[in-house]
Amino acid sequence: MKDPRFDYMPLAAREYSAQRQMTVGDLLLDNRIIFLDGPIHDGSANLVIMKLLFLQSENRHQDIHLYINSPGGSVTATLAIYDIMQFIECDVATYCVGLSASGGAILVAGGAAGKRFALKHSKIMIHQPYGQVGGQVSDIEIQARDILAARQLLNEILASHTKQPVEKIAKDTQRDHYLTAQEAKAYGLVDEILDRTPGDKKK
C-alpha cells in the first residue's frame, strides 16, 4: 500500500524515497547492466530475457552490458538467452566475471563483436553438454539423438563466434576445457581483457 505521506513530500524527498526502495538490481538495470549469476535455468533465463527486452524498449541504439558469473546449466535456457541476444537491435557487451562455464561460455562468446570482455583473473570453461537418458529403449534413442544434436549446435555456435574450425571445437570440448582470460582471448572467446571499467584512466 502506498504511503499517503508520499504525495505531500517535496520533490527531492520523493525522489530520495523512491531511490531507497530500489534494489541493487534495479540500480544496475537503470545503467543498462544485467548480472547473470549462478546456474542457468528457465527462471534465471526468463529474468535475463525480460531485462534485455525492457532495455531494448528503452533505447534500441544503446549498448546493454551483461556480466556473467555462471557454471552454466540448461541448454534450452542458455539458447533462449543467446537467441534474444542475437535478435535484439542493441549490441550486448558481455563480461566474464569469475567463471563462465558451459552455457555461461556460450553467452560470453555470443556478445557483440569487439565487445566481449573477460576480467583479468576470470576463467572460461567449454565442454560438451551433459545429459541423462532413461526409460524404454526407444526413449533412450530419442534422448541420445537430442543430446548429440545439442552438442553439434553448441559447437557450431562457438565456431561461429571464435572463428575456430568446428572440428577443433568438437575435440576441445570432449572434456572440460578451462581457459584463462589470456587463453580465452587467444581462442577467440573474448576480445579484450579488462582490469578496470572501459574508459577509466589509471590514476
- Each domain of the chain, given as residue ranges in start order, spans 24-194
Q: Is 102 a catalytic residue?
A: yes
- pLDDT digit string, tens, across residues 100-151: 999 999 999 999 999 999 999 999 999 988 766 567 777 778 878 888 899 9
Query: Around 168, how many Cα atoms within 13 Å sit in the side-chain half-sphere?
Result: 9
Give the position of cell 533465463: 45
Residue with cell 571445437: 169
Q: What is the CATH code of the structural domain delimited by 24-194?
A: 3.90.226.10
Q: Kindly state the cell numbers that stand for 197.
A: 571499467
Q: Does 70 participate in catalysis according to the annotation?
A: no
* Distance separating alpha carbons of residues 89 and 107, to the nearest angstrom: 17
pLDDT tens sequence across 90-107: 999 999 999 999 999 999
Please tell me which residue in 44, 65, 70, 127 is annotated as part of the active site: 127
Catalytic residue of the set 102, 122, 161, 177? 102
Of the candidates 119, 78, 74, the one whose C-alpha atom is nearest the C-alpha of residue 99 is 119
User: Which residue has 555462471 as its cell numbers?
Assistant: 70
* C-alpha cell at position 168: 577443433
pTM, two decimal places: 0.84
Tell me whether residue 136 is exposed, middle or buried, using C-beta atoms within 10 angstroms of its C-beta: 0 to 12, 13 to 18, 19 or more: exposed
Provide the 10 A C-beta neighbour count for residue 28. 16
Q: What does the alpha-carbon distance between residue 194 and residue 42 come to, in Å, rounded to a whole number?
A: 30
Q: What angle do CA 47, 53, 57 make, to 5 degrees?
A: 140
pLDDT at 203: 47
Minimal CA–CA distance to 126: which of 66, 162, 97, 169?
169
Q: Is 165's pLDDT higher than 80?
A: yes
Specify whether the CB–CB gap between 60 and 53 falls below 8 A. no
Q: Band of the pLDDT at 18, cuts 50, 70, 90?
A: low
